[in-house]
Chain A
Amino acid sequence: MTKVKNFCIFLLPTLICFFIAFILPFFMGLFLSFTDFRTVTDATFVGLKNYKEVFSGGEFLSSLWFTVKFTVVSVISVNLLAFLLALGLTRGIKGTNLFRTVFFMPNLIGGIVLGYIWQLIINGILYPYGQTLLSSANYGFLGLVVLMNWQMIGYMMVIYIAGLQSVPEDIIEAAHIDGASGWMRLKKIIFPQIMPSVTICTFLTLTNSFKLFDQNYALTDGGPSGKTKMLALDIYKTFYNKVGSEGVGQAKAVVFFIIVAVIALLQLYLTRDREA
């Protein structure tokens, strides 16, 4: 009796919510990707038709390509700059705490607000040249990269700082006495020691960039003519801006999920490998 009572108190509330907000929508989504539907209840089975449409229309693939380009550039630039800042902030320089506070701050601002902040700034920079953010897809691309850097650098920096601080002082000192130069110490001692932080930061920026939606939606809304549309935004627009393509939208979402899951499994594999 108490067993049932405890189950009801401890598990049931979360379980019911988890079922409604995740399990049920997930499997419904999986099923609906093989159907034609408008409102979930009027689904008719169409087999792989939606998936064929996903890969035959150029939209999804060009969004995928844009997303991959953006992700690669963001992951490299964010991690490089975050690591540099972390190095600078672990030398006991005056004002370290204030700098850390400032660099981390943008991370707390929501994606929609971030998008509009940078829209104003980039349009302001382009204005004297008679251009706007929507004049060329390159501006949108650069804008997204700058925005992503502004938002993520402080976050990654904090993780790198924690990693750097856990490197034992005496190893570095020993290397110093042995005459290792600053670069050598960085390459041979510090870097191998903070590899776990590097893996974490790489995957955090990777998944965050790949799944980006709010910033993309607010900054360019995919413009000009859909050329800066990332995957998440493409799925959103397929669902809500095109009547009759809900099935295709759901199929895109499934493909999107599979890509994200593969990245996550890769991360799991890499981190577990080292811990074992």
Chain B
Amino acid sequence: MKRKTADVIIFLFLLVMAVIFVAPVFIIVMNSFKGRFFISDTPFKLPDETSFVGLENYVSGLAKTGFFSSFGYSLLITVLSVAVIVLGTSMTAWYIQRHRNAFTKTLYYAFIFSMIVPFQMVMFTLSTLANRLGLSNPLGIVPIYLGFGAGLSVFLFSGFIKSVPISIEEAAAIDGCSESKTFFSVVFPMLTPIAVTVAILNAMWIWNDYLLPSLVLDRMKYKTIPVAVQSLRGSYGSVDMGAMMAMLVLSILPIIIFYLTSQKQIIKGVAAGAVKG
């Protein structure tokens, strides 16, 4: 009986918290249908006959930010970078684990070291270097993501590879598999669980990343979604709040859809990455 009442109280507490957690998103969606002058003053009012403007904000927001091309760039950069990171760092981690010598050991510690270095440390030099090397475009930024994101991914793959029995690989070698064939047809399939974690963690980082694309990419030509949202603020402080609301909704929408379709994997991946990182 006592436990029942406690459960009811806890349920109510969770319910209140859930409402608080959903409210901000709801408020943004609501305001995205209101005229731009009805937003800042009364953000908590539902749209009514005078303030409702239908899809006007979406139309103006899309025009102002070129949202669709931003979505395309964000998607292209995220998908390519994640693919390259999963492939590149799993191979690196495997090579390091299977060829233990002074060089690979040093390399491993260099990767670990890079994990604790904040982006600000390399911000200026990296963006200058990237511009000099002609990497200021959506394809050029992919190797930068691989290089800067390699630390955590190599670390996660290495931890997992240590638990993969080497005897399977030895059997493959005896059967005449070359090293690369062994990796791609025997080892890589076994790495799937950690590869999913690595992919999710990197996808979340790259999709939402603002600083790197804003500094590296040619701003006039290529804007990722966070860069496009930030560009709405403009330099004179006057913001079209209507367009801003619509763009916030459009930025959140793909994430929520993706989250709802594969939330189990995402939560598991993020938790696993945190515990090992």
Contacts and interface: CB of A to CB of B under 8 A. Distances in A.
A264 B226 CA distance: 28
B92 A11 contact: yes
Interface stretch (A24-32, A50-58, A67-75): A24-32
Contacts, number: 254
A261 B121 CA distance: 12
Given A10-B91, A11-B95, A40-B128, A107 B17 contact: no
Given A88-B13, A117-B28, A204-B274, A24 B150 contact: no
A45 interface: no
Nearest to B180: A9
Nearest to A204: B274
Contact of A257 (B13, B43, B117, B147): B117
A201 to B, nearest CB: 8
- A-side interface mostly: helix
B53 interface: no
Interface stretch (B62-70, B165-173, B264-272): B264-272
B117 A155 contact: no
A113 interface: yes
Given A19-B147, A26-B122, A158-B267, A91 B114 contact: no
A261 B28 contact: no
Interface string A83-106: 001001101011100111111111
Interface in B1-42: 7, 10-11, 13-14, 17-18, 21-22, 24-25, 27-28, 31, 39-42
A117 B274 contact: no
Chain B interface extent, by class: 35 or more
A225 interface: no
B17 to A, nearest CB: 7
Contacts of B13: 88
- B-side interface mostly: helix
B259 A108 contact: yes
A20 B129 contact: yes
A246 to B, nearest CB: 7
B125 A254 contact: no
Contacts of B7: 91, 93
Contact of A103 (B21, B42, B120, B208): B21
A190 to B, nearest CB: 16
Contacts of B21: 102-103, 105-106, 150, 154
6 contacts: A14-B146, A18-B147, A93-B11, A105-B256, A218-B230, A256-B118
Interface of B: 7, 10-11, 13-14, 17-18, 21-22, 24-25, 27-28, 31, 39-44, 88-89, 91-92, 94-95, 107, 110-111, 114-126, 128-129, 133, 143-148, 150-151, 154, 178-180, 183, 204, 207-211, 225-226, 229-230, 241, 244-245, 248, 251-252, 255-256, 259-260, 263, 266-267, 270-271, 274-275
